[in-house]
Amino acid sequence: MPGTWFSEKQLDSLAISCVVKKILHSERTPYQQIKVLDTDPFGLMLALDDVIQTTVFDEFAYHEMIALVPLNVHPDPKRILVIGGGDGGTVRECLRHPSPEEVTLVEIDARVVEVSRQYLPQLSSGLDDPRVKICYEDGTKYLKGKESAYDVIIVDSTDPVGPARGLFEEPFYRQIERALAPEGILVAQTESPFYNLDLIKKVFATWRGIFPTVRIYEAVIPSYPGGLWTFTLGSKKHDPVAVRGQVVAAGRYYSPAVHQAAFVLPNFLQGAVR
């Protein structure tokens, strides 16, 4: 194959690859290797440790679905916490909803935010909004001692290896439950239903012991391995499937119909999370 290629290894026998037109940035931080690449067909791409985080081609699908689903389920989401998400895309989507008065981003690696500000302004522009506060800290440490402080918490993390490992474990989810107000909602990206079903089952079972309502929903993100991606939502009061009329801040991907459809799961996934 001619040209330079980027490959993200998913399994020992499987990778997702695309052509690299230009390497715009590459550095190693204390946490990870950060790359910004100009690719074909995904356009600008942020990769951490050679794992695709986001691309300008399909980032709207991921960021709208991780942010607008919970914000539309909560009747008045004023205080939002995003853990991870240093590229800014999730914060940008939260700010499209009219309710938030404060959006706090807790990102472990300041360089992800700085690099995104430099190369991916279409994602990071919302970070300069006066409602946004940024803390550079490990999400698990940030939550210690927080009680009833947030209406919606979104875990927009890297895969469950390295610094993000603790963001997929029960003590962290229990801290989140305490940090959420009585009508609070948690959403986390929970990987591919085809390649990470065991992880999804584990997260679902753990959350079932913590939240009265737990639902999984899906979106199609072509640059992620397998294309089909899951999000898990835990809710103290409101069932996301019951939301009909109050949907606001629709986007390029998200709409009231997509909201309903996203919770309809294929049989193999539905059967795994009964």
Binding site for ligand SAM (CB under 6 A): 31, 48, 53-54, 62, 83-87, 106-109, 112, 138-140, 156-158, 163-164, 166-167, 189
Q: How far is the CB of 2 from ligand SAM (least distance, A)?
A: 28
Task: Please confirm whether the linkage preceding 41 is cis (ω < 30° from 0).
Answer: yes
156: annotated active-site residue: yes
| Nearest-approach distance from CB 116 to ligand SAM, in angstroms | 8
- Of residues 167 and 203, the one with the C-beta less far from ligand SAM: 167
In the numeric block, which tokens belong to residue 227?
Answer: 């294309």
Instruction: Name the minimum Å distance from CB 169 to ligand SAM.
Output: 11
Least CB distance to ligand SAM at residue 108 (A): 4
Q: Give whichever of 20 and 48 is closer to ligand SAM, judged by the CB atom.
A: 48
CB closer to ligand SAM out of 162 and 209: 162
Residues 11 and 195 sit within 8 Å (Cβ to Cβ):
yes
Catalytic residue among 87, 128, 156, 198: 156
Rank residues 64 and 156 by Cβ distance to ligand SAM and give the closer one: 156
Nearest to 15 by CA among 225, 254, 217: 225
Q: Are 19 and 4 in contact (CB under 8 A)?
A: yes
User: 2-38 as b/e, with b when 16 or more CB fall inside 10 Å?
Assistant: eeeebebebeeeeebebbbeeebeeeeeebbebbbbb
How many angstroms separate the Cα of 14 from the Cα of each of 3, 11, 37, 189? 20, 5, 21, 21
Q: State the first-to-last Cα distance of the chain, in angstroms, to the nearest integer.
A: 44
Q: Structure tokens of 262?
A: 């996203």
Q: 86 or 213: whose CB is closer to ligand SAM?
A: 86
Q: Which residue is nearest to ligand SAM (CB)?
A: 84
Instruction: Please report which helix (H) or strand (E) contains residue 59, including its range.
Output: helix 59-73
Give the burial class of 171: count Cβ atoms within 10 A of its Cβ; 0-12 exposed, 13-18 middle, 19 or more buried.
exposed
Shortest separation between residue 177's beta carbon and ligand SAM, angstroms:
18
- Those residues whose C-beta lies under 8 Å from the C-beta of residue 159, and which sit 6 or more positions away, are 51, 191
Shorter beta-carbon distance to ligand SAM: residue 160 or 256: 160
Give the shortest CB-140-to-ligand SAM separation in angstroms: 6
Residues marked active site are found at 156
